[in-house]
Structure 1
Amino acid sequence: MSSPPLETADSSPSTKPPQAQIKNQTGSSTTLDAAAIAAKLSELKTSSKGLTSLEAKDRLAKDGPNAIQAHEESRWKKLLGYFWGPIPWMIEIAAVISFLRADWPDFFVIAGLLLYNAAIGFWQDNKAANALAALKKGLALKASVCRDGVWASIDATELVPGDVVTVAAGEIVPADLLLIDGKYLSVDQAALTGESLPVSKKIGDGAYSGSIARQGSMIGVAVATGNNTFFGRTAKLVASAGSKSHAEQAVLRIGDFLIILAAALAVVLVGAQLWHDLAYHGVWHWSEAGGIAQFVLVLLVASVPVAMPAVMSVTMALGALALSRQKAIVSRLSAIEELAGVDVLCSDKTGTLTQNKLTLQAPIPFGTAKADDLVIAAALATQKESTDAIDLAVLKALPDNNPLGSYKPVDFIPFDPVNKKTVGIVQDAAGHKIRYAKGAPQVIATLCGMKEEPTGANDNTPTAEYFGKVSELASHGTRSLGVAVSQDDGATWTLLGLLPMLDPPRPDAAATIAQAKKLGLSVKMVTGDDVAIGSEIAHQLGLGEHLLKASDIFSADMNPNKIPVDAARAVEVADGFGRVFPEHKFEIVKALQELGHIVAMTGDGVNDAPALKQADCGVAVSGATDAARSAAALVLTAPGLSTIVNAIVEARAIFERITSYIYYRIAMTIDIMFLVVAAYLVFGFQPLTAIMIVVLALLDDIPIMTIAYDNVVTSPEPVRWNMHRIISFSSIMGIASLAESFGLLLLGVGWMHTPWLMDIVPLTTAHLQTMIFLQLAAGGHLLLFVVRTRNTIFRRPYPSRPLFLAVVGTQIVAVLLCVFGILVPALPWIMIGVVWAYALIWMVIIDAVKIISNSQIKRREKNSLKLVQPIAHS
């Protein structure tokens, strides 16, 4: 049988979710009396005998089934959405032009990459539906309901408001209920409200859909079903939650930049051709339209980062594999990039920071009693087969010699909500009957004839000491249990003392939080327990103790999608939150996101699911419910939070690798685009064919997927997409690479106009195209070696072995293509040597340009920060 509830700093009855509370006429949440229950039954047009079958049928047609109904966008519409947008449009245009010109290699490569990107995105998007499916599993399958005056078992989906149902131990509560009959019901609603202990219910209380009845049995009337229940509203939050990945936004912005650049260059190309025709021929030749289209095609293929999403996805997938070795399973690839930038970690308390297991603290004996006497007495007032959390904590704390065997159980008086205590009657070895009681401290004090009265500062009486200790424990959020003994059949009782109990922190939680702070994270506790309990745990873990009651920040009528600035600021400065319910967690995440923070939320229950999905990186801890795991982007499979710190470090390393690839990709795109335009405008020469550009994309991007294994220096602070820095630095590197490529073009043109060089090695325009192709293939990978580190290329960290070998293998393939003339005109060995020597010299030059530009960009960012800080403080 259940043990009594433990006293805390705040034992008011307002532990119910705001939207699920039954309200009296004044609007305050409370246990309803008989008159209020009768008024509620009248409002629902029902009685304690339930509904008739006809009434139930009409209400089912009106209110719908007792099930979660979420209206989401069709999957076909989602799939088509991946073919709509700036980058897909440009890829599709390039594919259409290839098709019209019958350039089948170009067409199939471009179309294949487009379909691959869409498939990856669509597969990830389908994860959202799994969260709702997992939530539905938590609903009761059957319900015992009174219809037409007869009790029957029906599908829980057929319940309607006004139905009278019975709930017994072991059953899932099928709907939001108002309890109207029965003696006692203990309900575990931790997965819904975050409360760490089962809650004792009595007539006039509410019970919530999806919670689990642990002990007792009561009858209730359904006041809400389906989406209108607390559980259903949680599911609706999950369906509506979700924020756009910063990686997606970054890719779109990079794509926009390159597309605008390509469009401008295309206009220059067409304008130059028009001017040439009109200036020299006085008329536009439509026969040349195909040639212009071919040039535009080359420019489009060069400008659109066709493989960028695919390379980023594969890179993050390889990173996800590395995280899995850290016992962290990635369910949404963008979580890796988001985790690297997280600067606020909102951590659920129960089961995440704590063990979700009550533990007996040091007993506080009174009189001549000893600590072990106190534990033994409490155990004798407990049934050995009990599964109650308090009883288990007491039994676990027994001394190793376990002296209970010397006592013979005679009788047991179980807990009830009125008496708030349990009494065990035993017989000792001498044959004497002894009564032991444990219960709420005030109840045990009354049993022992003690009465709490105002005392003076120097009052050292046992009564004052006892109640003073109770108040002190409550102020620290520690639950306490009073224990007493009676030697004379319960006529008089002697106080033995107090048993403090606490859900202790996980062993590694404090160290993990300290590491998180070193990584630049602000850690905020989020708990459904009282503020006092949260403050005590926060103190033990080294978190700040400025915890706020969530309802003091978020009002019931507040729009969760539009958090007031004052509320958001209060969330930002708080160290944590108590009395938190699902909509509060969701609002906390939204408030922080509106202030520009990248937020991670950890949790394990149904109540965490909406916030886990809304967070930039939702983390489901070990042992989480299916709903939490499905809503989260990262699922931990090992207990403890240390895995999160390891995942953050790994994510920052992955972010550095992706950033290196972005620098390289933008720079190379700028190089190729401007080279094509400049060569045409200056020499009327097309330096690359469309198939060369496609082959370059394959040679450059496929081996670079091994960048996921590269050696990098991780940032000590959260990292974000700094688009200004990315575009600025990439443009500088692109211009330097353009100088390298155009320089080779000039050398080639000069070679062809120098007779004695032509006598040594004859060079044609086809050869020159192949030289440019080889230079871009070799110089591109050398450029990657340059941009992958902010230091000089000749210092650590050096490229990893997989990346280096992949680049070497790719360059061998490129050389063989040039030597044997596969897809490109053949090139003599001597010219291959010239190109490689040229590329190596330029690698050193570009490395020097990188050092100078990084220094200038860093100085500019530092000066900008100095200008912004006084404005922010003012």
Structure 2
Amino acid sequence: MADLSKQSDTPAASGPDLEKIPVEQVLATLTVKPEQGLSASEAQQRVARYGPNAIIVKEKTLGEQLLGYFTGSMAYVIEAAALVSALLGHWDDFVIIGSLLLFNAALEFWQDRKASSALAALKAGLAPEATVLRDGQWSTVQASTLVPGDIVKIRLGVIVPADLRLIGGEFASIDQAALTGESLPARKKVGDEAYAGSVVKQGEMEAVVIATGSNTFFGRTAKLVSGAGSVSHAQKAMFQISNFLIVIAVCLTLILVAVKVYHDIVIAKDWNLSDALNILQFVLVLMVASIPVAMPAVFSITMALGALALSKQQAIVSKLSAIEEMAGVDILCSDKTGTLTKNQLSLSEPMLFAATDPQDCILAAALASKLEDKDAIDTAVITALKDQSVLKSWTLTKFVAFDPVTKRTQATVTDASGKSFMVAKGAPQAIVDLAQAPAEIAQKVKDAVDKLAAQGARALGVARSADGGTSWSFLGILPMFDPPRDDSKETIDKAAEKGVRVMMITGDDTAIAIETARQLGMGTHIIAAADAFPKDMDPDNVPPAIIDAIERADGFARVFPEHKYAIVKALQSRGHLVAMTGDGVNDAPALKQADCGTAVSGATDAARGAAALILTAPGLSVINGAIDEARRIFGRINSYLIYRIALTIDIMFVVVLSSIFLGFSPLTAIMIVVMSLLDDLPMMTIAYDNTPVSPQPVRWDLPRIFGLATVLGVFSVAESFGLLLFGIKALSLPELQAYFGLATHAQLQTMMFVQLVGGGQVLLFITRTEGWFFKPPFPAAPLFWAIVATQVVAAVMCGFGWLVPAIPWKLIGWVWVYLIAWLFILGGIRLIYDRFASYRTARHQKHAALVNQSLQPHVPASLANT
């Protein structure tokens, strides 16, 4: 995704902080009169100065995008192979290689289109229109034309069009959860700030614009999304392995060419253009067979089928690399509200003061509520009534909505007999002041509120007046919780068993986060991000001391978008693979930066667009299924890579070394082309293979992959050379010729074709499991029968002489006896190598433990760091 275009600085860039200074000073700084607004001409000048109130993206042209899909070392080699195949008239090769190249390009194009949807969703979130005061007249304009200093009006249902300071009106209730993570709408009064992209739930107020476009809180989030993103570890591994194989192939073919040219020019002194073309043809075909042109397709198909499996578990994959990344995730940063909790306030047992019945206290609070306002607190209070029909016994004669100044709602109700009384609910201290409660009651209320806060609960005070408001009775306190989801604790426990640590990240208060963590059995070392992170800290360059604190923490509270992004990036800098869950605009930068960003059920479009994995079922329970499936897919790809490296070593060294030292080419050009097809096409079915689930996060261990593949490759070369030397010896012994039916060098080439095709594919039985190949998990039916079908085709070709010289069926049978014997030999070599590698790993761990051992073993652990 391209970077956002730069806008001019906000008016506060070289002056006072417009978010903090008094409103009168804000108006003076912006040189605007609240009763007149800006003039049309001044507004145009400011648009030219500050830029439009929009998120502007510099996008690549379609041509630039398409060109990018055909560049890179792997793409260049595939393109060269396709071009040479066309020049030599090998149209079958050309079609197959070209199709693979186009398939990979189409897949990358689709991925990029999905990734760009994050910023598109952010742009769509900006209000399309705004009510603005200009030249003393209110009018409706495009929100993109707003500038700092504009006087605007916001009301119920309106999306806040820019960052504002409220300058007039009684109050507004604004839902900014998608921006800040707060679970309840924020109550705003004159002087407060309203953020672009938030939604007005109640009230109507006037405000002055203090920031627009990319300079808003919303816009800064979009900038983070644009700059966020990490390269897939699978891509890195694939590039390194591809380059490794390309280097081997190029080096060996250069050696082969040098020897051929030296022989023809220096020794035989018989060199012509025909010889050069023949050498070029053979070398390029050999390159086609050796370079893993099908590797990207195998990756893509394996992950695509994994994505299909995840979709059945209600997890939609929007970025295929997320599947492989999820396999190695060791830290899961989870949003709290709506993910670990139900995002539904519920009342626990009321703490009674003047009231004698808990339901009486709840009823008074319910009479001071309006269900139709869909306020979270009002809904929770009314829902807590055991018999909600009792509300019909009273008639609401007057209702005073929540006022941020008085911090309460108030209602006057009348019963069937005409008797009326007043009820109020709100902040406990505000209700205590209203009731003019005695000092000892006020202290008890304060203690109760402090206790509830320490438990992560909100408190709501309730009062009633029977004499028209002359005197009030403090009825009690209603504790309110956002309870954990029923499946959250089980999900966290299972994740821990898989070696994944869950960290809570929330915009709520620290006490609430700690109590939620306690109920879920998580660690309770929760850091208030707003206090831990310096305000001017660069989220891309977090200081080491803060990174240390992040690694030690169990979670974070009071976080903002840049905090979430910084947390993810800091953990990645220490080598962690991080999954991040979220649902709001404020989560989008961290979701895109994370190795596996996961949008939970009900997420905003911006969060879904930035995420690589989208959960359609509530909660996190599907995460564990996604981890298991990801680790299976990782195992399949890992086994394929070991197989492909070993096979390339086998083919290249056998062909090149036999040509150099034996003066005999074991394969013809057509054999190499057919072998390339037979080796690669069936491997697509590895996506269906039965693979065990690793109990711990799995990472790309390239030294181990290269080491094991090289060992298997070297012994495969020994296997092939053993059969080749036997064949050469048999050609000189009439009795062996008669028994096996091996009479010519052309038939010897066919025998080697059977061995390389069969030996290469049965090698996969060795690489797909860490134990003996004849023990579970057994190969999946599609993979097993694809290999069987391939070998049948190869045997029929050789038996009937299709495209290759025919050899007796008896000889084909003996080649397979030889292959099966080597299958057990290679299986034993694999076990020995794994045991040796495990021993070295254990020895290194033992040495590390010795080095890290305390030199004061008798000092208690609790005092070791004091």
The two structures have a TM-score, normalised by structure 1, of 0.93
C-alpha contact 1:106 1:690 (8 A) present in aligned 2: no
Which letter does structure 2 place at the counterpart of 1:473? Answer: L
Out of 560, 565, 577, the residue aligned to residue 586 of structure 1 is 565
Which letter does structure 1 place at the counterpart of 2:490? Answer: A
How many pairs align? Answer: 844
**Bigger mean CA offset, 692-701 vs 41-50:** 692-701
Out of 805, 817, 822, the residue aligned to residue 837 of structure 1 is 817
**1:59 to 1:564, Cα distance in 2 relative to 1, 3 A:** same
User: Which residue number corresponds to residue 112 of structure 1?
Assistant: 99
Which letter does structure 1 place at the counterpart of 2:710? Answer: S
**Bigger mean CA offset, 635-644 vs 20-29:** 20-29
User: Which residue number corresponds to residue 634 of structure 1?
Assistant: 613
1:473 equivalent in alignment to 2:473? no
- Aligned residue for 2:338, secondary structure, equals helix
Q: Deviation at 1:471?
A: 1.0
User: Which residue number corresponds to residue 45 of structure 1?
Assistant: 31
Q: Deviation at 1:803?
A: 1.8
User: Which residue number corresponds to residue 666 of structure 1?
Assistant: 645
Whole-angstrom CA distance in 2 between matches of 1:335 and 1:253: 19
Whole-angstrom CA distance in 1 between matches of 2:293 and 2:134: 63
User: Which residue number corresponds to residue 169 of structure 1?
Assistant: 156
User: Which residue number corresponds to residue 567 of structure 1?
Assistant: 546
Whole-angstrom CA distance in 1 between matches of 2:438 and 2:166: 33
User: Which residue number corresponds to residue 66 of structure 2?
Assistant: 79
Whole-angstrom CA distance in 2 between matches of 1:872 and 1:62: 59
Q: Deviation at 1:62?
A: 2.8
User: Which residue number corresponds to residue 555 of structure 1?
Assistant: 534
1:96 equivalent in alignment to 2:83? yes
1:56 equivalent in alignment to 2:36? no
**1:279 to 1:870, Cα distance in 2 relative to 1, 3 A:** farther
**1:403 to 1:341, Cα distance in 2 relative to 1, 3 A:** same
**Bigger mean CA offset, 545-554 vs 603-612:** 545-554
User: Which residue number corresponds to residue 663 of structure 2?
Assistant: 684
**1:510 to 1:491, Cα distance in 2 relative to 1, 3 A:** same
1:608 equivalent in alignment to 2:587? yes
- Aligned residue for 1:742, secondary structure, equals helix
**Bigger mean CA offset, 432-441 vs 20-29:** 20-29
1:598 equivalent in alignment to 2:577? yes
Superimposed CA distance per residue, residues 446-483 of structure 1 (whole angstroms, 9 cap, x where no aligned partner): 2222366xxxxxxxx54433221111112223110001
Superimposed CA distance per residue, residues 433-453 of structure 1 (whole angstroms, 9 cap, x where no aligned partner): 22221111001112222366x
Which letter does structure 2 place at the counterpart of 1:209? Answer: A
Whole-angstrom CA distance in 2 between matches of 1:386 and 1:156: 27
User: Which residue number corresponds to residue 819 of structure 1?
Assistant: 799
User: Which residue number corresponds to residue 785 of structure 1?
Assistant: 765
Superimposed CA distance per residue, residues 574-630 of structure 1 (whole angstroms, 9 cap, x where no aligned partner): 111111111111111110111111010001111111111111100011111111111
C-alpha contact 1:748 1:768 (8 A) present in aligned 2: yes
Whole-angstrom CA distance in 2 between matches of 1:697 and 1:802: 20
Q: Deviation at 1:124?
A: 1.2
C-alpha contact 1:21 1:206 (8 A) present in aligned 2: no
Which letter does structure 2 place at the counterpart of 1:228? Answer: N
Structure 1 segment 151-550 matched on structure 2, within 5 A = 151-277=138-264, 280-281=267-268, 288-400=275-387, 402-428=389-415, 431-450=418-437, 461-550=440-529
Q: Deviation at 1:721?
A: 0.3
- Aligned residue for 1:686, secondary structure, equals coil
Whole-angstrom CA distance in 2 between matches of 1:20 and 1:637: 39
Superimposed CA distance per residue, residues 685-706 of structure 1 (whole angstroms, 9 cap, x where no aligned partner): 2222344333323322322222
Out of 729, 732, 735, the residue aligned to residue 756 of structure 1 is 735
- Aligned residue for 1:350, secondary structure, equals coil
**1:552 to 1:76, Cα distance in 2 relative to 1, 3 A:** farther
- Aligned residue for 1:635, secondary structure, equals strand
- Aligned residue for 1:770, secondary structure, equals helix
C-alpha contact 1:22 1:206 (8 A) present in aligned 2: no
**1:349 to 1:368, Cα distance in 2 relative to 1, 3 A:** closer
Which letter does structure 2 place at the counterpart of 1:591? Answer: A
Q: Deviation at 1:283?
A: 8.5
Q: Deviation at 1:278?
A: 6.1
Which letter does structure 2 place at the counterpart of 1:496? Answer: L
- Aligned residue for 1:351, secondary structure, equals coil
Which letter does structure 1 place at the counterpart of 2:185? Answer: P
Which letter does structure 2 place at the counterpart of 1:852? Answer: I
**1:42 to 1:234, Cα distance in 2 relative to 1, 3 A:** same
Superimposed CA distance per residue, residues 741-770 of structure 1 (whole angstroms, 9 cap, x where no aligned partner): 222212221222221232341432222222
- Aligned residue for 1:506, secondary structure, equals coil
Whole-angstrom CA distance in 2 between matches of 1:219 and 1:702: 67
C-alpha contact 2:341 2:485 (8 A) present in aligned 1: yes
User: Which residue number corresponds to residue 725 of structure 1?
Assistant: 704
Out of 668, 677, 681, the residue aligned to residue 702 of structure 1 is 681
**Bigger mean CA offset, 834-843 vs 423-432:** 423-432
Whole-angstrom CA distance in 1 between matches of 2:853 and 2:653: 44
**1:567 to 1:625, Cα distance in 2 relative to 1, 3 A:** same
- Larger RCO: Structure 1 or Structure 2 (Cα < 8 Å, ≥ 6 residues apart)? 1
Whole-angstrom CA distance in 2 between matches of 1:732 and 1:169: 70
C-alpha contact 2:172 2:204 (8 A) present in aligned 1: yes
**Bigger mean CA offset, 123-132 vs 639-648:** 123-132
Which letter does structure 2 place at the counterpart of 1:289? Answer: A
Which letter does structure 2 place at the counterpart of 1:474? Answer: A
Whole-angstrom CA distance in 2 between matches of 1:739 and 1:208: 70
**Bigger mean CA offset, 272-281 vs 463-472:** 272-281
C-alpha contact 1:343 1:598 (8 A) present in aligned 2: yes
Whole-angstrom CA distance in 2 between matches of 1:710 and 1:92: 31
Whole-angstrom CA distance in 2 between matches of 1:164 and 1:403: 46
Q: CA RMSD in A?
A: 2.3
Whole-angstrom CA distance in 1 between matches of 2:78 and 2:848: 40
**1:684 to 1:552, Cα distance in 2 relative to 1, 3 A:** farther
C-alpha contact 1:406 1:428 (8 A) present in aligned 2: yes
Which letter does structure 1 place at the counterpart of 2:503? Answer: K
Whole-angstrom CA distance in 2 between matches of 1:107 and 1:705: 20
The two structures have a TM-score, normalised by structure 2, of 0.94
Which letter does structure 2 place at the counterpart of 1:296? Answer: V
Which letter does structure 1 place at the counterpart of 2:475? Answer: L
Q: Deviation at 1:860?
A: 1.4
C-alpha contact 2:53 2:145 (8 A) present in aligned 1: yes
User: Which residue number corresponds to residue 802 of structure 1?
Assistant: 782
C-alpha contact 1:479 1:501 (8 A) present in aligned 2: yes
Which letter does structure 2 place at the counterpart of 1:121? Answer: E
Out of 588, 603, 623, the residue aligned to residue 602 of structure 2 is 623
Q: Deviation at 1:309?
A: 0.7
C-alpha contact 2:742 2:748 (8 A) present in aligned 1: no
Q: Deviation at 1:286?
A: 6.2
- Aligned residue for 2:403, secondary structure, equals coil
Q: Deviation at 1:383?
A: 2.6
Whole-angstrom CA distance in 2 between matches of 1:407 and 1:152: 42
Q: Deviation at 1:103?
A: 2.8
Whole-angstrom CA distance in 1 between matches of 2:265 and 2:763: 41
